[in-house]
Structure formats: C-alpha cells, structure tokens
Amino acid sequence: MTTRFCIIRHGETDWNTEKRLQGHVDISLNAMGEAQARSVRPGLAGQVFAAAYSSDLERAWRTAEIATEGLDIAVLPAPTFRERHYGVYQGLTPAEALARHPDVHRHHTARSLDYDYETGESLLRFAARVMDGFAELAARHRGENVLVFTHGGVLDIIYRAAVGQDLEAPRDFSIPNAALNWLECRNGDWSLISWADTSHLDRALDEVAE
C-alpha cells in the first residue's frame, strides 16, 4: 500500500535572505514568506489529504496555517519534523561561521556524519529522527495523501532517501522556500513523484548549502 506525501518547506524568513542558519532558533516568516504561503493554496486545491502535520517551529507552523486555510483540515504539531539542531552554528552566516568556528565550518561543509556542532545534533541522528517520523506517518496513513510542512534540512534527508544519495554527498538539488515536493512510500521504499515545484511562486530562495 502506497502513502503519498506533499512536503513543503516553510516560507521565506529574514534569516533566509541573510543566509543565516536557523536550526531550532524560532524565526518568524517575513512578508514575502506569508505571501508564499498564500500562494501554496492553489497547488493544494483539488487534492484530498487525510491529515496535515507541521513542525512546531513558528516559520513552518505559520506557513501551514496560511496554506491550509479553506482546506477544512486541522494541522497537527509534529516536532519530529523540526529542522536539525545546529548547535553553535545557529544564527551564523557561512562567512561568520568560518571566521568564528573554522573547525565547525569544516565539518559542516564536509557533511561529517557524527559531528554535532558541539551542542547540537549529528547528521546521522537527525536523519534517523526524520526517517523514523516519515515511516510512522506512512504506516499510519496507508493508501492516503499526507501534507507535511517542514524545513530544508528535513527535505534534504527525505530526498536522499528517495533517490539513494549518500548523506555525505554534496547537495546537488534545490530546496526552495514554499515549493511543492511530492513523494511516495510503498512498503518502506521511497520514490520521487515531483520535486521543487515553484510554479506558483514569484520568488523562492534555496536552502543554505554551504
């Protein structure tokens, strides 16, 4: 039995425009982010979702509230789909991180699997959290469509699972704000249906990859 997911990264924030890594820091949407969330609605119209879930961080939760208006579906909090905790890297741009924490920046750009940013979450632990969360939803909603609002790091993990790309490999795919990403899970195996659909948006910034 197949479960289909529409997974949406939150709308734009001021920190996105500054290329600051947000992690668990609870940043709100800016005006563009709220407009992007409103623009998501037509892309969801006509779809039937059994359930909607969102990270409990404000930028994702607010995106979910705006985007699902009129869908007659309650959004349920799902802390499992929070962004990765980036420890001492949070709140910094890549240039600031390189200047202040060169070793941290080196591990970040290398995608070191076991590194936890001194006070954060390792890539392996983060990936396990994300994939366990999606596996639980796939089992709970067999044969149904599920809507998830989340973050760039979470989408990075699920994309790699769907295409068989190693966690350590440099990212070679885009993760725009408020894009529509459709995937399916059949008996534990993930595959892409469509990715990074931004046809409904005037502007969508990519996830910070450096």
Residue 202 domain-assigned? no
Query: Does residue 86 contact residue 120 with C-beta atoms inside 8 Å?
Result: yes
* Number of domains the chain contains: 1
Give which of 171, 145, 180 is closest to 36, Cα–Cα. Answer: 180
Q: How confident is the model at residue 99 (pLDDT cuts 50, 70, 90)?
A: very high
Give the mean pLDDT of 26-52. 95
Whether residue 39 is predicted with pLDDT greater than 90 in this model: the reply is: yes
- pLDDT for 206 equals 73
- pLDDT for 202 equals 80
Q: How confident is the model at residue 209 (pLDDT cuts 50, 70, 90)?
A: low
* Per-position DSSP letters for 28-55, written without gaps between them: PB-HHHHHHHHHHHHHHTT---SEEEE-
Please state, in angstroms and rounded to a whole number, the distance separating the CA atoms of residues 41 and 60: 15
Residue 103 domain-assigned? yes
Residue 172 domain-assigned? yes
Residue 47 domain-assigned? yes
Active-site amino acid positions: 10, 83
- pLDDT for 203 equals 75
pTM of the model: 0.96
Q: Tell me: the pLDDT tens digits for 73-91?
A: 999 999 999 999 999 999 9
Which structural domain range is residue 23 located in? 2-197
